[in-house]
């Protein structure tokens, strides 16, 4: 058998193999592994913050009690957005593309509202990034989380655009992008809850 | 949920021949070789830097390089060898090449992510090295401890941080891919406890990568804020805390040692049984030891910080936890010896390097247990004793295994045999050179020679010269190896599909393997180490026949 005929046979049999074989879809598994890794980044930040707090106490006059109302509203906004995202997913599963898009838009606006209110908080706080160790850690933690919210909002808007009917690529049969964005969004919410407790309440 | 794969002509989309190694190929075997060759090129650069260090240290004064150049050279040497050679090669290269075979898959779980993970490495490496020529490289060692890293020239340090972040990202992507491949892509009928040992080693390593690398990434981001935005996380002058950096850094960098050496353990466990025709001794204990090392490895980081003012309870805890790691490691060591015991050993280059590994690693392990003891560690901290210990583990351990694996799997990847005589010459020069280079450094450290400095007390001159002579031998040993690779890949003896008569799945296909690993269905290997049984050869023949029959169909 010459090499060229062997090659042809090889690729023919490969095609045959591909036609019969199905793989499991492991994208969600991969995403979960990635979120665990991402969560470890936050865990490192939290550990650093708590250690700073334990071993490097500030002078009493430098301590500033954080205002609670705005961050509480932020928490509610994010928790609400998790619920609306869930509704969007449900709507997609029952083939209601229009409803799904509406819920997605609400979720994205809640995300944007969170970012806006975070901005307001930044501008009203009496300390800046380099003032002291706490100020720096505060901005690093909330900033890194805000980056996640920004990315998540962009993802939601992409999912929103792609789930339009007709013409969108996300349908009840191909709902992985929505599912992935949803999982990521819940993760970001969960991190916020931990962050809220550690940074504002403790 | 399942996705059916539409028939593709992926095969023809990729460039043929050597060009595909420069392409964004999705084939795990191509990516594995990309990792290996790229890593080896960086090894040569890191080796040149090591030679420069040893030349400098032949005399007590800094007469070969300026002191700040010496600092840059040692920082680059450490960073390149760890992040660009050992970690990518023991994980990325062999992992990508072998794991899909071992689990009976046609590729990794996420082929595109896999290619992305590889292609992050060359730019990161080039960026790191180019910083030397443009602005001066980082000068604070591979640990980048603040406040040194904050006060040394900023540009080089920031480039260092960026490239380590990229390499960390590559490592995390790789880790996710390995976990998904091993846990999710096993062919039907293949149980976890039937997997070859390297799969277990890679599973453990990938768990460590996914859990600890992100912490390093976060820490380096904070460090870069300290350098660029003048925040005070780790800057005592601004009320920061350097010890927190050390904790976070070692939370990654201690597991990083296991990330470098666990895959090597796995590779040795593949190589020894084939060449001494015996089953791997104590498979189950090997699996549990790997998992024990993973768990303990995450809990021992502060033993690097005994001189950083750690409180007594912490010293006690981390000493005991570290000493515990000797137990699973010792189990593995005895299992390898028991595998060799009474086997029909063919003393080829692969086995020689593996045995070299066992000898060196036991020495590195013993000094490791010694270093875990606070009174001893306080005495030798930051001396050449630590340098000697570390190189016994990562060079005597991991790099010896990398060479062993190249001799073992070269016939599979290329279809050609390597020259055995050149291989033996390579081994003996490396082994003698390595021990000559690093054994005397134990003495240097015990007598108080500090590491990371270009100048030293003249009483250490002679021993340093012995060490440098050993380094010269190590450098020379690369020549027969390079010639061997170059010559054998052109004129080497044809290997055939299964030159070592192995039973693990990668040997049950052609050499080099076809694009999707097998023509027809993947073989089900439930007993990867069934050597030395009476019907072994018969079984092997049957299996090979089965595979070739399927190919004909």
pLDDT(B360) > 50: yes
B360: left (phi over 0), alpha (psi -120 to 50) or beta: alpha
Going by C-alpha positions, the residue among B451, B304, B320 that lies closest to residue B377 is: B304
pLDDT(A55) > 60: yes
Give the C-alpha distances (Å, rounded to integers) separating B194 from A131, B189, B201, B229, B335: 58, 10, 14, 53, 18
Q: Which of B244, B247, B311 to mutate against chain A (most A CBs within 10 Å)?
A: B244
Considering only CB atoms, B176 lies closest to which of A33, A43, A55, namely A33
Considering only CB atoms, A41 lies closest to which of B109, B110, B217, namely B217
| Mean pLDDT of all residues belonging to chain B | 92
B170-179, B301-310, B326-335, B539-548: range with lowest mean pLDDT: B539-548
Beta partners for A24? B2
pLDDT at A174: 87
User: Which residues of chain A make contact with B214, given a CB cutoff of 8 A?
Assistant: 37-41, 44
Beta-carbon separation of B8 and A137 below 8 A = no
User: Which residues of chain B make contact with A12, given a CB cutoff of 8 A?
Assistant: none
Considering only CB atoms, B229 lies closest to which of A21, A51, A130, namely A130
- Up-side HSE of residue B311: CA atoms within 13 Å toward CB? 3
Beta partners for B39? none
pLDDT(B356) > 60: yes
More confident residue, A24 or B394: B394
Cβ-Cβ contacts under 8 Å for B491 (sequence gap 6 or more): none
User: Which residues of chain A make contact with B230, given a CB cutoff of 8 A?
Assistant: 130
A58-62, A169-173, B386-390: range with lowest mean pLDDT: A58-62
Q: B450 φ, ψ to 5°?
A: -75, 150
User: Which residues of chain B make contact with A14, given a CB cutoff of 8 A?
Assistant: 11, 514-516, 519
User: Tell me: the pLDDT tens digits for B29-55?
Assistant: 999 999 999 999 999 999 999 999 999
pLDDT(B8) > 70: no
Alpha helices in B120-240 (DSSP H): 121-134, 148-151, 154-184, 197-228
Q: B522 φ, ψ to 5°?
A: -70, 140
Residue range B376-387: mean pLDDT, rounded = 95
User: Tell me: the pLDDT tens digits for B136-169?
Assistant: 999 999 999 999 999 999 999 999 999 999 999 9
Give SS3 for B383: strand
Considering only CB atoms, B516 lies closest to which of A14, A43, A137, namely A14
A132: left (phi over 0), alpha (psi -120 to 50) or beta: beta
Q: Dig out the tokens for A90 from the structure.
A: 């449900």
Q: Which residues of B86-96 are buried (b: 16+ CB within 10 A; e: fewer)?
A: bbbbbbbbbbb
Considering only CB atoms, B519 lies closest to which of A10, A34, A40, namely A10
Q: How confident is the model at residue B227 (pLDDT cuts 50, 70, 90)?
A: very high
Q: How confident is the model at residue A73 (pLDDT cuts 50, 70, 90)?
A: very high
Q: Which helix (H) or strand (E) holds B73?
A: helix B67-79
Q: Give the minimum alpha-carbon distance from B37 to chain A in angstroms, rounded to a whole number.
A: 27
User: Which residues of chain B make contact with A30, given a CB cutoff of 8 A?
Assistant: 109-110, 113, 176-177, 180
Q: Give the minimum alpha-carbon distance from B514 to chain A in angstroms, rounded to a whole number.
A: 8
Beta-carbon separation of B520 and A17 below 8 A = yes
What string of H, E and C letters represents the secondary structure of A11-40?
A: HHHHHHHHHHCEEECCHHHHHHHHHHHHHH
Q: Which residues of B175-188 are buried (b: 16+ CB within 10 A; e: fewer)?
A: bbbbbbbbbbbbee
pLDDT(A10) > 60: no
Cβ-Cβ contacts under 8 Å for A19 (sequence gap 6 or more): B7
Do residues B396 and B374 make contact, with C-beta atoms less than 8 angstroms apart? Answer: no
A78-92, B184-198, B451-465, B514-528: range with lowest mean pLDDT: B514-528
Alpha helices in chain A (DSSP H): 3-20, 27-55, 69-93, 97-124, 133-162, 176-195
Give SS3 for B382: coil
A24-28, B218-222, B456-460, B480-484: range with lowest mean pLDDT: A24-28
Do residues B393 and B254 make contact, with C-beta atoms less than 8 angstroms apart? Answer: no
Q: Give the minimum alpha-carbon distance from A82 to chain B in angstroms, rounded to a whole number.
A: 24
User: Which residues of chain B make contact with A39, given a CB cutoff of 8 A?
Assistant: 214
Give SS3 for B144: coil
Residue of B nearest to A44 (CA): B215
Q: What is the pTM of this model?
A: 0.91
Q: Which residues of A touch B (CB under 8 A)?
A: 10-11, 13-15, 17-19, 21-27, 29-30, 33-34, 36-45, 47-48, 51-52, 55-56, 58, 129-130, 132-133, 136-137, 140, 144
pLDDT at B158: 95
Beta-carbon separation of B520 and A13 below 8 A = yes
Beta-carbon separation of B184 and A18 below 8 A = no
User: Which residues of chain B make contact with A41, given a CB cutoff of 8 A?
Assistant: 214-215, 217-218
Q: Dig out the tokens for A33 from the structure.
A: 């592994």
Beta-carbon separation of A130 and B218 below 8 A = no
Do residues B90 and B157 make contact, with C-beta atoms less than 8 angstroms apart? Answer: no
**How many C-beta atoms surround the C-beta of residue B289 within 10 A?**
23
| B494 secondary structure, DSSP code | B
Q: Dig out the tokens for B536 from the structure.
A: 């072994």
Q: Give the minimum alpha-carbon distance from A98 to chain B in angstroms, rounded to a whole number.
A: 25
pLDDT at B304: 94
Q: Which of A5, A22, A40 to mutate against chain B (most B CBs within 10 Å)?
A: A40
Q: How confident is the model at residue B13 (pLDDT cuts 50, 70, 90)?
A: low
pLDDT(B220) > 70: yes
Q: Dig out the tokens for B118 from the structure.
A: 């590889």
Q: Give the minimum alpha-carbon distance from B509 to chain A in angstroms, rounded to a whole number.
A: 13
Q: How confident is the model at residue A171 (pLDDT cuts 50, 70, 90)?
A: confident
Q: Dig out the tokens for A174 from the structure.
A: 């191909």
Beta-carbon separation of A37 and B222 below 8 A = no
Work out the burial of residue B512: count CB atoms within 10 Å of its CB; fewer than 13 is exposed, 13-18 middle, 19 or more buried. middle
Beta-carbon separation of A44 and B248 below 8 A = yes
Considering only CB atoms, B109 lies closest to which of A11, A17, A26, namely A26
pLDDT at A5: 44
Beta-carbon separation of A52 and B177 below 8 A = no
CA-based Rg of chain B, rounded to a whole angstrom? 23
The count of residues in chain A is 202
User: Which residues of chain B make contact with A36, given a CB cutoff of 8 A?
Assistant: 210-211
User: Which residues of chain B make contact with A21, given a CB cutoff of 8 A?
Assistant: 5
Cβ-Cβ contacts under 8 Å for A15 (sequence gap 6 or more): B7, B9
Q: How confident is the model at residue A64 (pLDDT cuts 50, 70, 90)?
A: confident
Return d(Cα B178, Cα B26) in angstroms, integer.
Answer: 15
A143-152, B4-13, B437-446: range with lowest mean pLDDT: B4-13
User: Which residues of chain A make contact with B4, given a CB cutoff of 8 A?
Assistant: 22
- Which of the following CATH numbers is that of domain A24-201: 3.20.20.80, 1.20.120.80, 3.40.50.1860, 1.10.1040.10? 1.20.120.80
Q: Give the minimum alpha-carbon distance from A91 to chain B in angstroms, rounded to a whole number.
A: 19
Do residues B233 and A131 make contact, with C-beta atoms less than 8 angstroms apart? Answer: no
Going by C-alpha positions, the residue among B190, B182, B199, B202 that lies closest to residue B525 is: B190
pLDDT(B85) > 60: yes
pLDDT at A2: 43
pLDDT at A22: 60
Give the C-alpha distances (Å, rounded to integers) separating B286 from A27, B92, B186, B531: 30, 22, 20, 18
Beta-carbon separation of A25 and B225 below 8 A = no
What percent of chain B shows pLDDT beyond 90? Answer: 82
Q: How confident is the model at residue B324 (pLDDT cuts 50, 70, 90)?
A: very high
pLDDT(B20) > 90: no
Return d(Cα B376, Cα B406) in angstroms, integer.
Answer: 38
Q: Which of B108, B210, B218 to mutate against chain A (most A CBs within 10 Å)?
A: B218
Beta-carbon separation of B211 and A130 below 8 A = no
Residue range B464-482: mean pLDDT, rounded = 96
Q: Dig out the tokens for B172 from the structure.
A: 């995390």
pLDDT(A113) > 90: yes
Beta-carbon separation of B3 and A25 below 8 A = yes
pLDDT at A7: 46
pLDDT(B543) > 60: yes
User: Which residues of chain B make contact with A34, given a CB cutoff of 8 A?
Assistant: 172, 176
Q: Dig out the tokens for B142 from the structure.
A: 């591979």
Q: Give the minimum alpha-carbon distance from A128 to chain B in angstroms, rounded to a whole number.
A: 10
Considering only CB atoms, B514 lies closest to which of A10, A51, A137, namely A10
Residue of A nearest to B112 (CA): A27
CB pairs under 8 A between A and B: 138
User: Which residues of chain B make contact with A33, given a CB cutoff of 8 A?
Assistant: 175-176, 179-180, 210
Return d(Cα B451, Cα A31) in angstroms, integer.
Answer: 42
- The structural architecture, per CATH, of the domain B31-552 is Up-down Bundle (1.20)
User: Which residues of chain B make contact with A37, given a CB cutoff of 8 A?
Assistant: 172, 175-176, 210-211, 213-214
Work out the burial of residue A6: count CB atoms within 10 Å of its CB; fewer than 13 is exposed, 13-18 middle, 19 or more buried. exposed
Give the C-alpha distances (Å, rounded to integers) separating A117 from A71, A146, B11, B288: 8, 11, 52, 50
pLDDT(B460) > 80: yes
- Dmax of chain B from CA atoms? 74
More confident residue, B2 or B290: B290
Residue range A104-125: mean pLDDT, rounded = 94
B13-22, B122-131, B184-193, B544-553: range with lowest mean pLDDT: B544-553
Beta-carbon separation of A22 and B5 below 8 A = yes
More confident residue, A60 or B141: B141
Give the C-alpha distances (Å, rounded to integers) separating B475 from B375, B385, B425: 36, 22, 13
Q: How confident is the model at residue A126 (pLDDT cuts 50, 70, 90)?
A: confident
Give the C-alpha distances (Å, rounded to integers) separating B450 from B71, B109, B385, B440: 14, 47, 9, 14
Residue of B nearest to A138 (CA): B233
User: Which residues of chain B make contact with A140, given a CB cutoff of 8 A?
Assistant: 221-222, 225, 231, 233
């Amino acid at each position: 058998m010459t090499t060229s005929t062997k090659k042809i046979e090889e690729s023919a049999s490969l095609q045959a193999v591909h036609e019969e074989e199905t793989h499991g879809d492991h994208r969600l598994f991969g995403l979960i592994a990635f979120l665990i890794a991402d969560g470890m980044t936050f865990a490192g930040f939290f550990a650093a913050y708590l250690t700073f707090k334990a071993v490097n106490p500030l002078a009493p006059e430098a301590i500033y009690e954080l205002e609670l109302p705005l961050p509480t509203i932020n928490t509610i906004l994010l928790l609400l957005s998790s619920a609306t995202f869930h509704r969007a997913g449900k709507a997609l599963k029952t083939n209601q593309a229009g409803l799904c898009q509406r819920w997605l838009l609400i979720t994205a606006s809640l995300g944007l509202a969170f970012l806006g209110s975070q901005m307001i908080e930044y501008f009203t706080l009496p300390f800046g990034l380099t003032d002291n160790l706490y100020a720096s850690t505060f901005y690093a933690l909330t900033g890194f989380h805000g980056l996640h919210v920004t990315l998540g909002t962009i993802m939601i808007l992409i999912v929103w655009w792609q789930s339009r009917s007709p013409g969108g690529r996300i349908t009840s049969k191909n709902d992985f992008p929505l599912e992935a964005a949803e999982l990521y969004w819940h993760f970001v919410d969960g991190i916020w809850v931990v962050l809220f407790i550690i940074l504002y309440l403790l | 949920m399942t996705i059916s794969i539409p028939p593709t002509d992926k095969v023809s989309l990729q460039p043929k021949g050597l060009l595909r190694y420069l392409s964004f190929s999705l084939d795990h075997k191509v990516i594995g070789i990309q990792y290996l060759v790229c890593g080896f090129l960086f090894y040569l650069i890191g080796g040149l830097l090591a030679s420069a260090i040893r030349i400098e240290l032949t005399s007590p004064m800094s007469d070969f390089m300026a002191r700040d150049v010496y600092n840059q050279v040692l920082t680059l040497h450490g960073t390149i060898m760890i992040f660009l050679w050992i970690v990518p090669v023991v994980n990325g290269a062999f992992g990508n090449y072998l794991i899909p075979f071992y689990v009976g898959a046609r590729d990794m779980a996420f082929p595109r992510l896999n290619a992305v993970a590889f292609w992050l490495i060359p730019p990161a490496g080039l960026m790191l090295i180019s910083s030397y020529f443009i602005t001066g490289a980082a000068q604070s060692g591979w640990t980048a401890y603040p406040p040194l890293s904050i006060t040394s020239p900023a540009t080089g340090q920031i480039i260092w941080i960026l490239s380590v972040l990229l390499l960390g990202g590559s490592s995390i992507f790789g880790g996710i891919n390995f976990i998904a491949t091993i846990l999710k892509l096993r062919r039907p009928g293949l149980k976890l406890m039937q997997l070859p040992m390297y799969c277990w080693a890679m599973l453990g390593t990938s768990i460590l990568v996914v859990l600890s690398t992100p912490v390093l990434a976060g820490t380096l981001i904070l460090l870069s804020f300290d350098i660029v935005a003048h925040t005070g996380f780790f800057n005592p002058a601004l009320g920061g805390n350097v010890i927190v950096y050390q904790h976070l850094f070692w939370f990654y960098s201690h597991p990083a040692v296991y990330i470098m050496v666990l895959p090597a353990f796995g590779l040795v466990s593949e190589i020894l049984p084939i060449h001494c025709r015996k089953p791997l001794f104590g498979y189950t204990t090997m699996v549990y030891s790997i998992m024990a090392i993973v768990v303990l490895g995450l809990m021992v980081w502060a033993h690097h910080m005994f001189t950083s003012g750690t409180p007594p309870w912490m010293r006690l805890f981390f000493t005991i936890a570290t000493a515990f790691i000797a137990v699973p490691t010792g189990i593995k060591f005895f299992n390898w010896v028991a595998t060799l015991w009474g086997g029909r050993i063919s003393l080829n280059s692969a086995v020689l390097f593996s045995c070299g590994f066992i000898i060196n690693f036991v020495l590195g392990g013993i000094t490791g247990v010694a270093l875990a003891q606070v009174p001893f560690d306080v005495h030798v901290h930051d001396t050449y004793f630590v340098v000697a210990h570390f190189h016994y583990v990562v060079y005597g351990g991991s790099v010896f295994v990398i060479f062993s694996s190249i001799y073992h799997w070269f016939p599979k990847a290329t279809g050609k045999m390597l020259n055995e005589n050149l291989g033996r010459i390579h081994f003996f020069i490396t082994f003698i050179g390595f021990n000559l280079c690093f054994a005397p450094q134990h003495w240097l450290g015990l007598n108080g020679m500090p590491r990371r400095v270009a100048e030293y007390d003249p009483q250490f001159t002679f021993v340093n010269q012995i060490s440098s002579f050993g380094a010269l031998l190590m450098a020379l040993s690369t020549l027969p190896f390079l010639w061997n690779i170059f010559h054998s890949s052109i004129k080497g003896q044809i290997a055939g599909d299964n030159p070592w008569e192995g039973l693990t799945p990668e040997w049950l296909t052609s050499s080099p393997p076809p694009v999707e690993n097998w023509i027809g269905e993947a073989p089900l290997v439930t007993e990867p180490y069934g050597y030395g049984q009476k019907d072994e050869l018969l079984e092997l023949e049957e299996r090979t026949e089965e595979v070739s029959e399927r190919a004909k169909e």
